[in-house]
Amino acid sequence: MKRICFVITTIMTMLSASGQRHIENLNFGWEFRLNNEGEWRRVDVPHDFQIEQPWVAPAADERPDNTDVAANIKSRLSSRGFKEMGKGYYRMHYTPAAELKGQRVLLDFEGIMYTADVLVNGQLVGGTNYGYVGFEIDVTDNLKYGEDNLIEVIADTREPGNSRWYTGGGLYRNVCIVTTPKDMYFSRHPLFITTRDNKYVSISAEFVNRNKGEATNIALQIIDPDGETVYNNTIAIKRHKMTRHQETPIVTDTEIHNPKVWDLDTPYLYIVKAQLLREDGTVADETYEQFGIRTIEFGPDYGFKLNGRKVLLKGYANHHTLGALGAAAYPKAIEKRIKLMKEFGMNHIRTSHNPYSRDFIRLCDKYGILVVDELYDKWTQQHTGGKVPFEQHWQYEVPEWVKRDRNSPSVILWSLGNELQQDPNMPFNDFGVTMFKLQKTLLQRYDSTRLVTVAMHPRYRNWETDSLPHDLAMITDIQAYNYRYMYFPGDGRRFPWMTFYQSEANMTNMGPNFFEMNLDRVIGLAYWGAIDYLGESQGWPTKGWAQGVFDISLQPKPKAWLMRSFFKPEEPTVHIAIIDNKAEAIMWNGINTANDGMSDHFNRKPGSQLSLITYTNADEVELLLNGKSLGRKQNPKDNPKQRNQIRWEGITYAEGRLEAVAYNNGKVVARHKIETTGKAVRVIATPEDTSWKADGTDLMHVRIEAVDSKGRRVPMAQDELKFEVEGDARIVAVSSGNHNSDELNVTDHRCLYNGSALVILRAGKTPSTVTLKTSSAAFKTVTTKLQLNSL
């Protein structure tokens, strides 16, 4: 895949440097202040101003959690991560070259959270009512060329009740300026690339030619994953087919010989490069797009097929935020998550409940992740920005969303909404049926190659009296039920045309909600909140959702290995999980979301009685304490409620080593051991990546651990660490996984939690050596040398 990345970078450089289309990065050099108060300070994009704010504890007359929505007495900020809402003011002084006068100039925002106004030289030129979707503004006539201009952005998160989770705030995605000729250019997201039978490619393009009587030619190249050109032709567009801002078929069913098919383990990507030519052969404009050659099918008898074979979706559904970084959409942080999820057997992500960044989709293309691409939560003003009624803006967001992502092979299904049945204020008072039909009709104007659904919970209108599926379930292409997988068999018998997808599965019931489905017939499932996140707290001082199998710093909790055991059945797994406390039920939308408190260390009180689980996909497990066998137990594979979970009670703790040994057919296939550690004597710093680019945006995650004299992490270490950076980089976030901590994320210090902490550095633009110093009152200072590499 290195070759294709090189080709993409080369083409982007060509586009940026060409005289026809110029793309200028505006991520660097903004000034910011909160609520238009205080001094301006420099910030670079991506930037989330909400993550910088102090925690706000619930008032005495508020519930400290997000659970009692019906009584309207929930905490004002529990859903929003206990961060105060506000307005972020951004400004940039920008001098366009005098030579650009006469060109078409666009301000391009990939998103501004949550609603926003954009001004140029004091004049309102545009904005957004729903910050998850990108937009462009034609500022050709608003700029002074060769002179200083002031670009201002006012991002607002204050609308009451405008989100059920932590959204972040501000310029959290990329910003750029795009220039093209005025008379002849490609439109926004201009290419539509489809494939058939894993070898035929068709391409349409949307462009403008304002020159009367001038013919249009389009030069097309298709470049394969090895960088070789496999198609190269110039197509004359007949005048009678040309209309402004309408897609025109350019190539139909051109055959790619010996195609390299995009798949989960071989995510091969092709590139289309398109040039808009004038009659004299000069290039007026050019663009490029990635795509993959693959087929997708859905059906009630098999669920989902990729390239003709049954594939089960095994994934998660989370919000768009990135832990300690908040909503700032750093590609490296997204990549880190995707690689970790793939390591634990996931092949699928649902973008609940809004479009993620374009970089996220590109990375899913790169790593072979299957995406259910979701546009909205509920179709109301409250849940889509809060600024204007939903009916006034959805028709602009559907095309932008679909056209942005339709060429990505990772996107296999469109989802228009989530849990609509729970809101009585849906348009047209018919539980979303009419609104779904309207949106789907518009969506399919831009892409008819994928099916369309919404995630439903509950699956019926009335929780107590209705037994039939909800009206929406009767008209969506896929029947996507949150949590209610137990209705798949009955609904399937009544309506044999239905194809089922568990669009959210709860972590509490992990295992049964997988094994109790007919895996041969369903599409698959997405575990809700697999990674802890800010917002939707179930009780102060917890700052957000804490029921995931990965903590907010991306450290796996013991239950992550249960998921891995059935998501990667081909890889023998065993892992010890000691139950520290039994959880009381926490009801959330009628679903118990509580997980037992578990850990996987062996520093306990002498003589205490331990209850534990060994998570395994092997036939049986033997447990040994300091080399002495405590017994051998079978994996209850015939019981879906207990499968891959072997329980052990009454284990008397003694210092030393506890080991689980897994067997298949009497042979050892996997081991996991935990040991009693000594006192922490030092800290070690481990960079989590070997490549760090001096591009101004790339991140370096450094894991800090307190270890004993044998180099073992000491889980009880909670010492405070101080971080200092020398060189062309800066700290953008710190974390530890402790969701109850009152420490801020945007600072230079952090207490260890479970013996660990995380510091995240943002690169500057100068290739050089960066030094990270980690100091503490308890340990000797550790110096870590990191190399910032040339692009």
Report, as an integer, the average pLDDT of 550-573. 98
For the cut 70, the answer to whether the pLDDT of residue 663 exceeds it is: yes
Coil, helix or strand at residue 68: coil
The pLDDT score that the predictor gives to residue 465 is 59
User: What are the φ and ψ backbone dihedral angles of 63, each rounded to 5 degrees?
Assistant: -70, 145
pLDDT, tens digit (0-9, with 9 covering 90-100), for 349-363: 999 999 999 999 999
Residue-level pLDDT at 584: 84
For the cut 90, the answer to whether the pLDDT of residue 514 exceeds it is yes
Tell me what the mean pLDDT of segment 244-266 comes to.
Answer: 91
More confident residue, 410 or 238: 410
pLDDT score at 443: 98
Residue 6 pLDDT exceeds 60: no
Span of 71-80, 513-522, 596-605, 686-695 with lowest mean pLDDT? 71-80
Q: Say whether pLDDT at 105 is over 80.
A: yes
d(CA 353, CA 69): 19
Strand segments, DSSP code E, in 464-608 are 479-482, 500-505, 524-528, 533-534, 544-545, 574-581, 587-588, 591-592, 597-599
DSSP state for residue 100 in the 8-state scheme: G
Q: Look at residue 9 and tell me whether its pLDDT is greater than 60.
A: no
What pLDDT score was predicted for residue 424? 75
- Across the range 53-71, mean pLDDT stands at 77
Q: Taking 90 as the threshold, does the pLDDT of residue 65 lie above it?
A: no
Of 63-77, 406-420, 465-479, the one with minimum mean pLDDT is 63-77
pLDDT surpasses 60 at 69: no
pLDDT band of 13, cuts 50, 70, 90: very low
Pairing relationship of beta strands 41-43 and 229-237 according to DSSP bridges: unpaired
- Residue 387 confidence (pLDDT): 92
**Cβ(433)–Cβ(392) below 8 Å:** no
The answer on pLDDT for 746 being more than 60 is: yes
Tens of pLDDT, residues 381-393: 989 999 999 999 9
pLDDT tens for each residue of 307-338: 999 999 999 999 999 999 999 999 999 999 99
Structure-token pair, residue 698: 């790339």
The gap between the terminal CA atoms of the chain, to the nearest Å, is 17
> Does the pLDDT value for residue 559 go beyond 70?
yes
Whether the predicted pLDDT of 665 surpasses 50: yes
pLDDT band at 160 (very low <50, low <70, confident <90, very high): low
Question: Residues 15-39: pLDDT tens digits?
Answer: 443 448 999 999 999 999 999 999 9
**Cβ(645)–Cβ(559) under 8 Å?**
no
Read off the pLDDT band of 591 (50, 70, 90).
confident
SS3 434: helix
Cα 209 to Cα 340: distance, rounded to the nearest angstrom? 47
What pLDDT band is residue 462 in, cutting at 50, 70 and 90? Answer: low
Phi, psi of 404 (to 5 degrees): -65, -40
For the residues 724-734, what does the mean pLDDT come to?
98
- The pTM score is 0.96
Evaluate if residue 496 carries a pLDDT over 70. Answer: yes
d(CA 251, CA 198): 16
pLDDT(541) > 90: yes
Question: So what's the pLDDT on residue 461?
Answer: 59
Q: What is the pLDDT of residues 116-148, one digit of tens each?
A: 999 999 999 999 999 999 999 999 999 999 999
In this prediction, residues 702-728 reach a mean pLDDT of 98
Please provide the DSSP assignment of 576-627 as one string: EEEEEEPPPP-EETTEE----EEE------TT-EEEEEEEESSSEEEEEETT
> Residues 193-217: pLDDT tens digits?
999 999 999 999 999 999 887 888 9
> pLDDT-derived band of residue 71, with 50, 70 and 90 as boundaries?
very low
The pLDDT score that the predictor gives to residue 470 is 86
Residue 639 has pLDDT above 50, yes or no: yes
Please state, rounded to an integer, the average pLDDT across all residues of the chain. Answer: 93
Flag whether pLDDT at 427 surpasses 60.
yes
pLDDT confidence tier of residue 590, bands split at 50, 70 and 90? confident
Q: Quick one: pLDDT at residue 63?
A: 77
pLDDT of 730 > 60? The answer is yes
